[in-house]
Structure 1
Amino acid sequence: MIYLSIKALHVAAVITFVSGLLVLALCAATGNLVTLRATRRWDRQVTAPALALVWITGLTIALMGHWFGAGWLTAKLLLVIFLSALHGALAGLLRRAERDDTMRGSPVLRFAAPTVIVTVGAIACLAVLKLF
């Protein structure tokens, strides 16, 4: 029962984190300074804590399942590290934009939202199918 509770908490935290990450990506892509403060506040109060909870519950589940060393988990962890880094880049961009009142982001970050969707799809496939 504890395993299933942790897994449910993990899934809820993932949904919260991914939705917040998509909001960050869309705000960075549009360069809309009007929504910038609300987006940054949401990120600090909801998205960032959800990311911490994703890591804590995910590592707990991996320990409980004895999955460390499995190829699918290694690949999944690499993708989660990538999403965590993307979150940091987007949060930093919005923090600088709020400070300077200008959006000067990398053109690559315009593709952050579709990248998040594709990466989350790959993570879900790895976690559910456990192919290798």
Structure 2
Amino acid sequence: MPEAVEPQEPDYSILDRRISRALEQRGVESGIVTGDGGGHIGGMSDRVSKLEGAMDGVKHAQTSLLAVVSIVGGVALAVVALIATLQIFTLTEIGGIEDTIREEFRALRAESAAQTSAIANAVTATKQQAPQVILVPGPYPAPAQQ
């Protein structure tokens, strides 16, 4: 049975040289710092700290934005609830008014019909000829005989 071979650490020297050459071409003075296994480009810790500070600002802005959106959403929900309540109240009031208006119109129609009937009777009465009265002389008493 063959013996297991332990994997060896890969050689990064070629990669380190290529990165150093690329940095030199771009005019970056510091190369890769190695030694503790946390290799980084020189001056990176300053940039990382600035980036962390900026991210803290973004996190604070995100929290503030969430709070503002929550407040606006709550106010919008309250306004919608208020409008719905007012609409329901208004519709019930209109329903009561509708019955009252219906009764008023019914009374107006009855009154109008009574007035029209009275006017029609009056007009009819004026157009009718008065009954003709013929006076007939009554019997004269007979002249007294003497």
TM-score by length of 1: 0.25
Higher relative CO (Cα under 8 Å, sequence separation at least 6) belongs to 1
TM-score by length of 2: 0.23
Q: Specify which structure has the higher proportion of helix.
A: 1
